[in-house]
Amino acid sequence: MLFWQILIAGFAISSLYALGATGFTLIFGVTGVLNLSHGAIMVAAAVAAWAASESLGVGSYLGAVFGILTGLLLSLATYFLVVGRLQKSRKIREEEKEIFILTATLLWGIMIQEAIAYLYTNNAKTVAPIVEGVVSILGVRTPANEVFTAVVCWLSIGALWYFVNGTRAGKAVLAASMNPRGVTLLGIELSSVYFAAWAIYGVLAGIAGVLLGMFFGVSSYSAGPLTASAFSIVVLGGLGSVYGTLIAAYVVGYLETLTAYLVSPAYRTIPALLLLVVVMYVRPRGLLGRR
């Protein structure tokens, strides 16, 4: 009984982690940017969905759309206002850009987080779930919302997979992650590839944020831990490797669920952090990392 319970609850959480981290790894793979405002963008999407459905009373479907749009807009703002400027800057030497981008996205994330705290306070907000009720799977009473989360996560990841492998624009994005110079030589504008990557990232982060808001609830405080968990999942799986990220998301998700069920919810995050340290020590490039 407990076994099935952990298996099902862990699956939903892991799918959510997988979706959140996939966007993060996509943006790193294509543009080489580690976006430390990731958590803040997800929280902003969730809070926007909450505000739209609670205050404006537009219902949970429109609210979710509103949240995803917020994620998209913030992601594009991150690109145009912060990252793009640093990438084009002539004042900063090439080899130092990486740490400038890390610092700048960190600051940008704090700005988003504080703006949320100012407008909507620090209180935790739970987005009204789109599907309600309980279903019974293998004798375990599971909230329908958990099933819905897992399904939407996998549909989104599937759509991303189709986009990258099945469409021309997607293939250009994939090619840019392998060899940016080669893409330019083929006559594809690199900046439009980057734009596409940030747009996709924004939608993914928006969906993940809204689902997270329905699942756990978010507050402006969750931004930092969310970035940290996406970062650690991505590093655990190997930076830039999507399959690695998916595997790592499940490893972390199940480790956390196991600890929460069997030991104590207070220790929830500790085993995953320990695992990360061990992996970094033994295999610094992660499970499926390329370099």
Sites of contact with other proteins (CB under 8 A): 34, 82, 85-86, 89, 91-93, 95-96, 98-100, 102-104, 106-108, 110-111, 114-115, 117-118, 224-225, 228, 231-232, 235, 239, 266-267, 269-270, 273-274, 276-277, 280-281, 284
CB of 231 to other proteins, least distance (A): 6
Tokens 């830039």 -> residue = 240
State the burial class of residue 269 (Cβ atoms within 10 Å of its Cβ: 0-12, 13-18, 19+).
middle
Q: Which long-range contacts (CB under 8 A, 24 or more apart) does 119-123 make?
A: 120/47, 120/50, 120/51, 120/220, 122/219, 122/220, 122/221, 123/219
CB of 113 to other proteins, least distance (A): 9
CB of 277 to other proteins, least distance (A): 6
Nearer to other proteins, 110 or 175 (CB): 110
CB of 153 to other proteins, least distance (A): 24
Tokens 């402006």 -> residue = 220
- Total number of residues shown for the chain: 291
Q: Is the Cβ–Cβ distance between 208 and 23 less than 8 Å?
A: yes
CB of 129 to other proteins, least distance (A): 28
Q: Is the Cβ–Cβ distance between 179 and 40 less than 8 Å?
A: no
